[in-house]
Amino acid sequence: MCGIVGYVGPQNALDVVLEGLRRLEYRGYDSAGVAVLAEGGMATAKKAGKLANLEKALVEEPLPAATIGIGHTRWATHGGPTDRNAHPHLSADGKVALVHNGIIENFAALRAECETAGVEFTSETDTEVAAHLLASAYAETPEGPGRLAEAMRAVSNRLEGAFTLVASHADEPDTLVASRRNSPLVVGLGETVDGTAEYFLGSDVAAFIAHTREARELGQDQVVEIDRTRGLTVTDFAGTVVEPTAYTVDWDAAAAEKGGHAWFMLKEIAEQPQAVADTLLGRLGDDGGLVLDEVRLSDQDLRDIDKVFVVSCGTSYHAGLIAKYAIEHWTRIPVEVEVASEFRYRDPVLDRSTLVVVISQSGETMDTLMALRHAKDQKARVLAICNVNGSTIPRESDAVLYTHAGPEIAVASTKSFLAQIVACYLVGLFLAQVRGVKYDDEVAAIVEDLRRLPEAVSEVLLQMEPVRELGRSLAGADTILFLGRHVAYPVALEGALKLKELAYIHAEGFAAGELKHGPIALIDQGTPVVVVVPSPRARESVHGKVVSNIQEVRARGARTIVIAEEGDEDVVPYADHIIRVPRTPTLMAPIVTTVPLQVLACEIADTRGYDVDQPRNLAKSVTVE
């Protein structure tokens, strides 16, 4: 969850590191810190709170100039968000500076070992253990090239859990080392105008995208050594040299800026037509068949599938719920949707005829990654839907469909959600095509329906000012309820989640048919109830049932806010507020009905005075279980 930056090169390291931390602050903002290796030795600064607090402290007490440095922005796990728990952590002799993302599960035993050896700890974190162990391992490692990397391998082999570690040592002023297990880390390779090589480390490429687009993937259980003269060396934890995978980032620094919007979230909401279009780009081949990004499964493998699990967390879970409707409808294969954190612990029945679809924006979501590995252990096939090229989840899957939504900086997911839904539709269509359930022309017709969605989303975005005004009027509400049926039910869940995440208001999403089975007791005079109304063309007249639900809650004093497609006049007599969306095929309605709920949550949070991009207690990528 934390953001990590490292730099070795001719530039002022502090400037590069701070710039990278600004781009990674979405990963955690409980505290921030930096360490630079200057002629006088290791120099550090760290402050609780957002990065601005650290930057202010550095103005008051500047660090010495240096060309090697590391930085960290924290989402607290072990120990509260205080100055002393902020990273980097130093070894007892002050020579090692280390930053960490993840959780070291056996830290208590390792800490006891260090304390028995006389080490005094200055923080409550699990990270400090790694700093002391690295200093001890370094002292026991023979002098020579690669000494710090060897010490890092020794420490990494002792740690259990999920971790990315980046460290420097005062006795090696030209070297940074890093290690990863179950936690993201990428390397950037750059060159200054005079041809001098420079190297970057980051939790993701946003950390160094302003300097280079050339990146290297670090695999599972690998250590990277960056030396100013010897360059880049990657080994596994046993010390065997490996060749990292090279790739070029296909977006630039401007894509990570706000572009004139007050919040990154607003920018990303506005980018949704493009995100949907890019996810669809190039998916229909010359022969009319669908094309996915990487499919390491044969057509026969897919024909053998008799059960699909969709496994994901948070907003991605809601995309999975929508996927169930489409995949079952188009393929006639039974689909179950699972919360990733529960999946492997309930011992699901999996075999070679099972397809597990894992959805993760970052590709590093730990619960989802562990579910993926469990599925692979049980011989199931795994297909990943992901937004980040080269991340762990797609690397470990049998097939990949990238959403191509571009960087998403705001913690609350918006454009990634729409892109994930579209990607799920493509997976369903691909399965239907391979299995012969749908002919190529039928698939092509549905893809054409999908291709009209970017225009529909653009149309919705042009009509959002009344929604913003409504949001301002709802900012004082204590509870807001959301109702939906069919594919509108997951949309209701997503609308409630966005409001909880951003505005800290009690919000719940319900299947509208469950209203009389308990939730209607929550309705009081003036309670805002948002109803996502299915199309009148929805299956088995579910539309009429939802209109009845609107009447029921209004009769009990609710303030009814209705999202309905253009031309639906049945809702008019019972709606206090109507938000219109374009007509779309029933299964594709979530692409347009979700957008007003995103804007509504953003406006309510902004009116209440909250940080929309960085809601409290949350981080963008949950890389620990």
The set of catalytic residues is: 2, 620
Query: Which of 103, 119, 123 is CA-nearest to residue 33?
Result: 123
DSSP 8-class letter at 67: S
Q: Look at residue 601 and give its three-state secondary structure.
A: helix
Distance CA(590)–CA(592), nearest Å, equals 5
Total residues belonging to the chain: 625
Return the bridge partners of 190, or none: 198
Contact predicate 357/330, CB 8 Å:
no
Distance CA(617)–CA(602), nearest Å, equals 17
Q: How many CB atoms lie within 10 A of CB 546?
A: 26
Query: Which of 269, 340, 349 is CA-nearest to residue 308?
Result: 349
For residue 33, which phi and psi values (nearest 5 degrees)?
A: -160, 160
Contact predicate 422/450, CB 8 Å:
yes
Distance CA(283)–CA(273), nearest Å, equals 17
Tokens coding 375: 């599925």
SS3 content of the chain, % helix, strand, coil (to 5): 40, 25, 35
Please state, in angstroms and as integers, the Cα–Cα distance from residue 439 to each residue in 282, 328, 338, 355, 467, following that order.
Answer: 19, 16, 30, 22, 41
Distance CA(371)–CA(343), nearest Å, equals 6
Where do we find the tokens 């207690």?
617
Distance CA(613)–CA(602), nearest Å, equals 9
Query: Which of 441, 120, 415, 420 is CA-nearest to residue 271?
Result: 415
DSSP 8-class letter at 63: P
DSSP 113-158: HHHHTTPPP-SS-SHHHHHHHHHHHHHHSPSSTTHHHHHHHHHHTT
Please state, in angstroms and as integers, the Cα–Cα distance from residue 390 to each residue in 17, 247, 350, 367, following that order.
Answer: 23, 8, 26, 18
Distance CA(386)–CA(120), nearest Å, equals 43
Strands across the sheet containing 399-402: 294-295, 399-402, 381-386, 354-360, 307-312, 335-339
Distance CA(72)–CA(437), nearest Å, equals 51
Contact predicate 322/421, CB 8 Å:
yes
Return the bridge partners of 162, or none: 103
Q: Look at residue 66 and give its three-state secondary structure.
A: coil
For residue 64, which phi and psi values (nearest 5 degrees)?
A: -65, 155
Query: Which of 199, 198, 250, 240 is CA-nearest to residue 219?
Result: 240
Q: Helices in 13-126 by DSSP H: which ranges?
A: 13-24, 51-60, 107-116
- The C-alpha angle 421, 426, 429, rounded to 5 degrees, equals 125
